[in-house]
Amino acid sequence: MGLLLCIVAVFLQFSLGFSFPLRFNQTTGHFKILQVADMHYANGATTKCLDVLPAEFATCSDLNTTAFIERLIHAERPDFMVFTGDNIYGFDCNDSTASQVAAFAPAVNAQIPWAAVLGNHDQEGNLNRMELMQHIVSMDYTLAQINPPLASLTLPSEGHHYECGLASSIDGYGNYNLEVGGAQGSPLANKSVLNLYFLDSGDYSTVPGIGGYGWIKPSQQLWFSQTSAQLQAEYKSDPTSDNTSAPGLVYFHIPLPEFIAFSASNMTGGKQEGISSADMNSGFFTTIREAGDVKAVFVGHDHVNDFCGELSGVNLCYGGGFGYHAYGMAGWSRRARVVMATMGKDDNGGWVGVEEIRTWKRLDDDALTTLDEEVLWNPSVTHS
């Protein structure tokens, strides 16, 4: 049975890797991602809002969160959506499965490919973290995975070898990567020109003597490093890649301690609360820097922080608080982050690798105001 599962996993990995369910637009050369952070969805119309103006409270519910997503989908027409944890507020959910269905319904109904990771509140209902991810991966149009379909990890400290993504091989539930294929008809049509990494940052510490929130464990970091190295090697093997690496973006819930490095002088956006990272530094930022391909990291968790700042060539960005059943600030619009990668053109007008990654935020006001548009990465710009 184990061998059969391995064969199936290999087949799925091969078929997904070359069919590219995500791909840059052939006409515009764009690939647009909508990040939704901290929906805190519960029971729909009966779930009241938090931190809204007094005049709004009587009619405000989870349905306002749904309406905001639907408006954003119509306005931005994203190619892909990412839900970065605390998608539901498990403690208040009557049924976690039903709450997840309602929370992700706008993406499903719009038939947009989407993925999700978990936060620290999702599992506080009647489903644990594994069960939550099992349900997510069963839903329509999702590209999420519980863990890689085929993982082969050698842990140097223990010498253990794990196959087929066994639960013991990688900590957490929801560690996976997705590849975004180049535009059809371009020399890179059969290569990933943008790599997306998703990790489970956990909920709370389970280590005696260490309190606070969870963090990304060594097994997850090893998986990330090996996956990044493999993707970079594959990209560089293509004669059209100019021996560079496809850029990478990373998504998870709980911010890294390095987010504390930013203030008004070196960031774009707002920092209106402290950085609620784990009490210990897992070293994942160093792992990201050593990998070399990641241009930006996107998190949620701290709802009224919505800034981006660059540290050692890597942008660290908050999505901004989205959900109405989540704490916020009365009069401060809920918001979402959009990221758009754009392929460049050669002298003959043909599409080549990614030349720029931009971001902006959209506010849930009457005009869906666009805020803080900026360039996160351009290969012609040298970073220190």
Q: Where are the domains of the chain?
A: 27-144+250-377
pLDDT of res. 340: 98
Count CB-CB contacts under 10 A for residue 384.
Answer: 5
Rounded alpha-carbon distances, angstroms, from residue 192 to 44, 280, 354: 38, 34, 10
Sign of the four-CA dihedral 219, 224, 227, 233: negative
Spatial contact of 116 and 104, defined as CB atoms under 8 Å apart = yes
Spatial contact of 74 and 371, defined as CB atoms under 8 Å apart = no
Per-residue pLDDT of the chain (384 residues; tens, 9 = 90+): 444 444 343 334 433 334 689 999 999 999 999 999 999 999 999 999 999 999 999 999 999 999 999 999 999 999 999 999 999 999 999 999 999 999 999 999 999 999 999 999 999 999 999 999 999 999 999 999 999 865 455 555 444 443 443 444 799 999 999 999 999 988 888 899 999 999 999 999 999 999 999 999 999 999 999 999 999 998 988 766 666 789 999 999 999 999 999 999 999 999 999 999 999 999 999 999 999 999 999 999 999 999 999 999 999 999 999 999 999 999 999 999 999 999 999 888 889 999 999 999 999 999 999 999 999 999 886 444
pLDDT of res. 149: 64
Spatial contact of 272 and 328, defined as CB atoms under 8 Å apart = no
pLDDT of res. 86: 98
pLDDT of res. 240: 65
pLDDT of res. 3: 40
pLDDT of res. 357: 98
Angle between helix axes 284-291 and 218-236 (nearest 10 degrees) is 10
> Could you confirm whether domain 27-144+250-377 is CATH 3.30.40.10?
no
Rounded alpha-carbon distances, angstroms, from residue 179 to 22, 51, 73, 182: 7, 38, 22, 10
pLDDT of res. 283: 97
